[in-house]
A and B are shown apart, each in its own frame.
Chain A
Amino acid sequence: MSQSEDFALASHDLDFYYGEVQALKKINLEIPQHRITALIGPSGCGKSTFLRCFNRMNDMIEGVRVEGRVLVEDEDIYAPGVNLELLRKRVGMVFQKSNPFPMSIRENVNYGPRMGGVRGRDRLDEIVERSLKQADLWVEVKDRLDGSALDLSGGQQQRLCIARTLANQPGILLLDEPASALDPISTAKIEETLLQLKENYTILIVTHNLQQAARVADHTAFFMLGELVEFSDTTTMFTNPNEKITEEYITGRFG
């Protein structure tokens, strides 16, 4: 089933430091295109840090240092002169805690395009409709687009955040435990959305929930104490892991 794979994201000998503390150690990983890749591992092992390297959200934190190379579609994004706004449009991100802006649903969804310079009510409305449909939220909100986004339920808010990210047509989607605060039904909806998006998007998802990884991911990477322990296709990872420690984690003996 796996043909010769293209890589959308890659890290080469990636070291990451918060001040003196090293959070990532020599990470070498290539994320295949148009697949869902899950990052798993005990908390504090560096999954979020790794994820946030791909859209350089770590830049906001004072005193961080990056060594090695991080590639997005073969471009080194830590090279000097990289356009951060363009990078973040191409590499969208959904956060653990949903963070809709205190605006209407419509304004939330077309925020990215508007900031990117897209003008015209019709064009923006088109984008809003397409994105909300992709995130499977259109039917629920199409009659209240101008209502406040803060009035939506938790699950709807998170899907709104996905729609908001999709509005930029990013190509690559980073999700940091997007369903960790949601009920099972909302979680299922989001997983369904991700599976539909897979055709056109490369998806990298951090999850604490191993069943979730097993359900949606094509490939899974297991992190531990800032190191990449194992990376393989999900079936192998969950049935026949190479490393003993992976097996211990998957069978729930720690973490």
Chain B
Amino acid sequence: MPVSDSPQPLVSDRKGLAPGLSGIWGTALATVLILLMLGLLLWIVAVNAFGWFWPVPVWQVEERNGTVHIGAEVGREAIPGPDGAEPFYRLQFKVGNRDLDGRDFVWIDEAEIRSKGRPGDLVRIVRSEYGDAFGRIAGATSSDGGAVEVGEPDVLAEFLAAGKNARAERARLETRLSDARRPLTNLEEALDLLERSANAKTASGQERVVALSAEVEKLAIELRPTLDEIQGGLDALAGDLAAAHLKLVAGDARFEVPLSNVIEVSWPNRMGFAGKLAAAVRHGVLFLVTEPREANTEGGIAPALFGTVLLVLLMSVAVVPLGVITAVYMTEYARHGFLLRLANQAVNNLAGVPSIVFGMFGLAFFIYGVGGSIDRAFFADRLPTPTFGTGGLLWASLTLALLTVPVVVVATREGLLAVPRSWREGSLALGATRWQTLRRIIIPAAMPGILTGLILAVSRAAGEVAPLMLTGAVKLAPSLPVDGSAPFLHLQRKFMHLGFHIYDVSMQSPNVEAAKPMAFATTLVLLLLVVLMNLGAIVIRRRLRRAYRGQSV
């Protein structure tokens, strides 16, 4: 075989870095740094969040002056001694029992501690009011007023289980009651609207009001027995639950916790690893599926999680057609020239506009402009109470769609431009129209690009908070935007959002310190949600890419 006779040997015996290698090292270092920072961020968030779900020991601490505290240790900080002397430490305990003295935490100087231990009989009670309670169970009273033998583990367990069942039954009955009452509620609302409407004054309007009132009355009478029965059951349960209570002792304090408030009783000091793991998982799941309590400092994040997912879905539904149509027009139809360049510039610059500006635009254009007009045209009888003329899910998702449309346009344009010319020509040469070619060949082939745009849009939208504060995210929404009453999806409703929830919990909460782990846990959920949504889109895109293998799409 002939060998190339180039003067430079292929195998170099030069020592040290090959030319260009230092550049590679530089970029590798930068990548590693970024990854490290990302990892650190995830670590901080995850440790703080998991630490909250993981059952921690309950300590009993006795100070030198004889005061006894019961609670979970949550912090330790150094206090510098006077002029250069050894620092000393103080410990922070979460003692709960907010109903006693209003404070959740105490700081104790380490030097002041006489003894510290974790006896197995200390309990942590998660309550639906006043946050956690710590202490010892000293006794219990059943609903009929009799004392419960709490010294017997079986008796106590049975007592607690009965309470749990009663609470579940109460929740079930409450749902049944509102379900049973829904037809009546709907009818009453209709009547209310009719009475307040402008033409209620006319003769025919009066007639309809009278007819509807009669209908409401009839239905009320019809439903009365059912409603009364459910209500009766509820009242009995509530009475039982309120009467039964646990007697708790914490240090000098003795207090009672009604069974109706008890969500969970646990003995963390007695738990083995498996028990703790199970508890942590249970706490995690509860966090995801329950509603917040106590001004968002306790309970779960279900409505915020739901609101975020729904918001992003609605945003996607709006942004994909908007972005794709824009990109298709710019790429396939618009004539090359000044206007197209201008439009391109506009799209590129739109991506750089601060998001709060979009929020302002949403407020001015969607809410005051479009929403106000809708209210004047269709909901005049409810004014001055706004229906669409106030922040809500629809306006927030449209604002986000506007915010993210540039990335969809840019990615879609790239996808469209990457579709081989030969496919367009082939389709046209077979007698397909331009529209058919677009729909059957070009758009499907540009789908990976479109999905890339959607992925970027979703990532950006899911983490965006600023514009939502102006367009409808709230601290506590009275009802979910989706429920059982027609039209099921209530786009005008205010909603909760994970990002806003994080801000609210960590900055606006009445008890910032107690809510800190909750903020981290919410952050973790938001992060995981974004990752999950991205993974979903990436999987779809990979499937599509496989269909076009070998082509430069």
Contacts and interface: CB of A to CB of B under 8 A. Distances in A.
Interface string B430-468: 111100100011001100000000000000000000000
A57 interface: yes
A164 interface: yes
A102 interface: yes
Interface residues of B, number: 24
B422 A168 contact: no
A222 interface: no
Given A85-B432, A111-B432, A150-B551, A99 B426 contact: yes
A42 interface: no
B425 interface: yes
A101 B433 contact: no
Interface stretch (A24-32, A71-79, A88-96, A195-203): A88-96
B427 A101 contact: yes
Given A99-B420, A102-B547, A112 B432 contact: yes
Contact of B445 (A85, A93, A95, A102): A102
B550 interface: yes
A62 B332 CA distance: 12
A115 B436 contact: yes
B454 to A, nearest CB: 20
A165 B428 contact: no
B430 A102 contact: no
Contact of B430 (A86, A97, A150, A168): A168
A99, A116, A150 — most chain B CB neighbours (10 Å)? A99
Contacts of B551: 102, 150
Interface string A53-93: 00101001010000000000000000000000110110011
Contacts of B425: 57, 60, 95, 99
A205 interface: no
A111 B430 contact: yes
Contacts of A111: 427, 430, 432, 440
A186 interface: no
Nearest to B445: A102
Given A102-B547, A115-B436, A148-B547, A85 B422 contact: no
A150 B422 contact: no
A126 B433 CA distance: 24
Interface string B512-553: 000000000000000000000000000000000001111100
B423 interface: yes
A179 interface: no
Contacts of B427: 101, 111, 115
A224 interface: no
A89 B423 contact: no
Given A62-B336, A101-B423, A101-B441, A112 B548 contact: no
A205 to B, nearest CB: 15
B424, B428, B445, B548 — most chain A CB neighbours (10 Å)? B428
Interface string A104-131: 0000000110011000000000000000
B429 interface: yes
Contact of B431 (A60, A100, A116): A116
A8 interface: no
B429 A85 contact: no
B429 A115 contact: no
Given A99-B420, A99-B423, A150-B550, A55 B429 contact: yes
Interface in B191-224: none
Given A85-B433, A99-B422, A60 B547 contact: no
A60 B425 CA distance: 9
B549 A150 contact: yes
B431 A168 contact: yes
Interface in A155-189: 161, 164-165, 168
B431 A86 contact: yes
Nearest to A161: B426
Interface size grouping (class) on chain A: 20 to 34
Nearest to B437: A115
A62, A88, A101 — most chain B CB neighbours (10 Å)? A101
Nearest to A164: B430
A112 B437 CA distance: 11
Contact of B548 (A55, A62, A86, A102): A102
Contacts of B444: 102
Contacts of B432: 85, 111-112, 115
Contacts of A100: 426
A117 to B, nearest CB: 10
A127 B431 CA distance: 16
Contacts of B547: 102, 148
B431 A112 contact: yes
A60 B433 CA distance: 12
Given A102-B547, A102-B548, A102-B551, A93 B431 contact: no
A165 B425 CA distance: 12
Nearest to A174: B429
A165 B430 CA distance: 6
A168 to B, nearest CB: 6
Contacts of A161: 426
A168 B445 CA distance: 24
B426 A101 contact: yes
Contacts of A112: 430-432
Nearest to B548: A102
Interface in A45-59: 55, 57
B78 to A, nearest CB: 65
A95 B425 CA distance: 9
A101 B426 CA distance: 8
A112 B549 CA distance: 23
Contacts of B433: 85, 115
B445 A57 contact: no
A86 B433 CA distance: 10
A99 B433 CA distance: 18
Given A97-B422, A102-B445, A92 B548 contact: no
Given A57-B425, A111-B430, A161-B426, 18 more contacts: A57-B428, A60-B424, A60-B428, A85-B431, A85-B432, A95-B425, A99-B420, A101-B427, A102-B445, A111-B427, A111-B440, A112-B430, A112-B431, A115-B427, A148-B547, A150-B551, A164-B426, A164-B430
12 contacts: A57-B425, A57-B429, A88-B428, A93-B429, A99-B422, A101-B427, A102-B445, A102-B551, A115-B427, A115-B433, A115-B440, A150-B548
Interface of A: 55, 57, 60, 62, 85-86, 88-89, 92-93, 95, 97, 99-102, 111-112, 115-116, 148, 150, 161, 164-165, 168
The 4 closest A-B pairs by CB, nearest first: A99-B422, A89-B431, A112-B430, A115-B432
